[in-house]
Structure 1
Amino acid sequence: MRPLKNTLFVQTQGAWLNKQGENVVMNIDYEVKGRVPIHKLEAIVCFGQVSISPALMAHCTDNGITITHLNQYGKFQARVEGAVSGNVLLRREQYRIADDLERTQMICHSIVLGKVHNQRQVIRRYLRDYKQQLDESTVDCLHAAQKRLENGLNKILTAENLPNLLGREGEMASTYFSVFPNFIRNSDYRFPKRTRNPPTDAVNALLSFSYTLMTHDYRSALETVGLDPACGFFHQLRPGRPSLALDLVEEFRPIVDRFVLSLINKRQLSKSDFKTEENGAVWLKDDARQTFFKAWHDRKQQTIYHDWFEETVPFGLLPHLQATIMARHIRGDIDAYIPFLWK
């Protein structure tokens, strides 16, 4: 049970939340495990098997405290709120921004800056951890790519319009993936280039699968804070496409890449765990997904420091925190969307 900027996240399975006086109390097997003042909350987010007493639910609906239920893996299930909700006003402002090129571009700048910064951090961390094991030409290549990404951050700041910004984002992605094969230290895997729809090798299959899971997490997080996951700013609007979720995934792609590289380099998955279709598409086999999901679950439990919230939080809560920041920017509480910058 963790309060973050007026949102209470409850991840303990079997928890029972109830109201005692002016507090939300969490019980596990009839024993009190946590207590938070109700007046400090604007939302409660429950993951998995978390129950709420009727009295607490009534208090929340009467006082504008939104209750959101997600499954244990973070998939959105339901939201409980009272008759009066600010979500309609929040979404109306979201749609207004989507029609305002100047405001849209400001958000897109933040998203792309976060992505390129985190791509650079992947290279920096690899050089920090393995520089002594690399030959001189590889080290020079990685340093050159890192420098191009640093210069790219300045180019992004001076992009005059969205097409120009998209072009520079594509240029930085090309630079990043050109050195990506250097990060793979398992000889069973090869990465010729980034391919999607469908992925044509095991590395791309893992990347695409991981990005899809992160997109699902972001979709749930955006639903939780009351935003429309389909109305994005960086990705074009299409029926059935969670464009805003895809927007916010961008800055996390490099962090997800590190997770995939860990699976590969630690040999948690082997070549036999993948299947190739007649059209050349490569997918992770059903049995191997259990190994993947266990590693993904373990990664989401690991902690990471979030500068804006000034707290160390589980990795799995990052989508909810970034969705909260986006909602606060759209609502006008903060001047800009603040991306998550990996250190």
Structure 2
Amino acid sequence: MKRPHYLFSSGRLRRQHNTLCLERTTGERLPDDAPDDEGLPSAEADGARSPFPVEAVDSLYLFGEIDINSKLVTFLGQQGIPTFFYDYYGNYTATLFPREGQLSGRLRVDQARHYLSAKRRLVLARAFVEAALFNIERVIKYYQPRLAGEKQAAVQATLLELKKDRDALPLTVDIPTLMAVEGRIRDRYYRLWPHFLGPEVAARFPFNKRERRPPSNELNALISFGNSLCYSTVLRQIYRTALDPTIAYLHEPGDRRFSLALDLAEVFKPLLVDRMIFRLLKTGELNPRHFEKYLGGCYLTEAGRKIVVSHWDERLSQTVQHRTMNKKVSYERLIRHECYKLVRHLCDPVGDPYQGFHMWW
């Protein structure tokens, strides 16, 4: 069975006969933005060689400093393996996609038509926000019975506020207004996180508000890294369909980003990212020593990223009994099904309208 492969070691990744091989470096990796960096490898590839079968690789995630050449790029393209690159701090930076294998001119035209129509675009954008709100409420209600006193009252008050936000969604008349509602929903949700984590964990990981570029503390760093994993996972599933990842509806299409992956990631972040963060912190698998401060920001160390990625991969493999398909489906497969639902809507918005994924457990 093909699975994503996550490479944290630095070195040279190359084709060896008809498989893949990582030639490791023994030196220490230097920051990508070091003042004296000349763009050369931090160390020569003189360590152990680790071959692994290409038949088992669905995609590659490169967290180390990896050298590649055109022979490898050609081989990965022939095998249909997308490759995701992360910088020294664990920030997602780029994707190397093979030549598109799933092409549909009709679907691309339909996708663009829905973006160009303000009414059709707003319908899809609302569906993404509504699904994200529903899943946020499911997460809140999951932890609600574990709380008491003032914390329980804070949760009840937030749920009432979120109900008002839900009632406001049909009244939004443009994308900026809808984005403002979505931002308000997230802010209210994040204010509850210290209650969900408990007093001991909240004391070790203080969290007042969401801050990015750079993340200001450990919890913000964890959210940013988890969101980047969710974004790249959604992008990988979009690649398996004929959807154009650059044409989006909630997030404005722009240069150098796959905006549709941002749209769909909003739906799955409460289930995949937020629940993962709560578990890793409440079980103590992550602690303050797995973070480091650098140039005014806070980032996961390599050891911390390995823990998160291991849990992420395990989480994507978890299965749930699907209500309509009558079989067990992995969390990762749910994302693929979401892409197919969007395709059906774009082709027939009246006969098969899109409704975002709603957690049912």
TM class by shorter chain equals 0.7 to 0.9
Q: Per-residue deviation at 1:305?
A: 3.9
Measure, in 2, the Cα distance between the counterparts of 1:196 and 1:68: 36
Distance 1:171-1:308 versus aligned 2 partners, 3 A rule: farther
- Give the structure-2-normalised TM-score: 0.70
**Counterpart AA for 2:259:** S
Matched, 1:171 2:160: no
Measure, in 2, the Cα distance between the counterparts of 1:325 and 1:176: 27
* Mean CA deviation greater in 234-243 or 332-341: 332-341
**Counterpart AA for 2:278:** L
Distance 1:69-1:306 versus aligned 2 partners, 3 A rule: farther
Measure, in 2, the Cα distance between the counterparts of 1:96 and 1:329: 12
CA contact (8 A) 1:306 1:340 kept: no
Matched, 1:152 2:169: no
Measure, in 2, the Cα distance between the counterparts of 1:210 and 1:12: 19
**Deviation string for 1:221-278 (max 9, x for gaps)?**
1121111111111101211111110001111121211111111111111101101012
The match for 1:117 is: 134
The match for 2:332 is: 316
Determine helix, strand or coil for the equivalent of 2:252: coil
Measure, in 2, the Cα distance between the counterparts of 1:309 and 1:325: 14
Q: Per-residue deviation at 1:164?
A: 2.5
The match for 1:269 is: 286
Q: Per-residue deviation at 1:307?
A: 4.0
Residue from 46, 49, 58 that aligns with 2:55: 49
CA contact (8 A) 2:82 2:236 kept: no
Q: Per-residue deviation at 1:289?
A: 1.6
Determine helix, strand or coil for the equivalent of 2:359: coil
**Deviation string for 1:32-60 (max 9, x for gaps)?**
xxxxxxxxxxxxxxx96259xxxxxxxxx
**Deviation string for 1:90-149 (max 9, x for gaps)?**
111111111111000000110000011111111100013x13xx3x11100111111221
* Correspondence 1:116-135 to 2 at 5 A: 116-128=133-145, 130-131=146-147, 134=148
The match for 2:218 is: 202
Q: Per-residue deviation at 1:181?
A: 1.7
CA contact (8 A) 1:107 1:336 kept: no
Matched, 1:140 2:153: yes
Could you say what the CA RMSD is over the residues aligned between the two structures, in angstroms? 2.6
Matched, 1:106 2:112: no
Measure, in 2, the Cα distance between the counterparts of 1:80 and 1:103: 27
Residue from 323, 328, 338 that aligns with 2:355: 338
Measure, in 2, the Cα distance between the counterparts of 1:68 and 1:328: 28
Matched, 1:301 2:317: yes
> Percent of aligned positions with the same letter in both sequences?
24
- Give the structure-1-normalised TM-score: 0.74
Determine helix, strand or coil for the equivalent of 1:49: helix
* Correspondence 1:185-334 to 2 at 5 A: 185=198, 186=201, 187-255=203-271, 256-279=273-296, 281-307=297-323, 309-332=325-348, 334=351
CA contact (8 A) 1:304 1:314 kept: yes
The match for 2:46 is: none
**Counterpart AA for 1:251:** V
**Counterpart AA for 1:119:** I
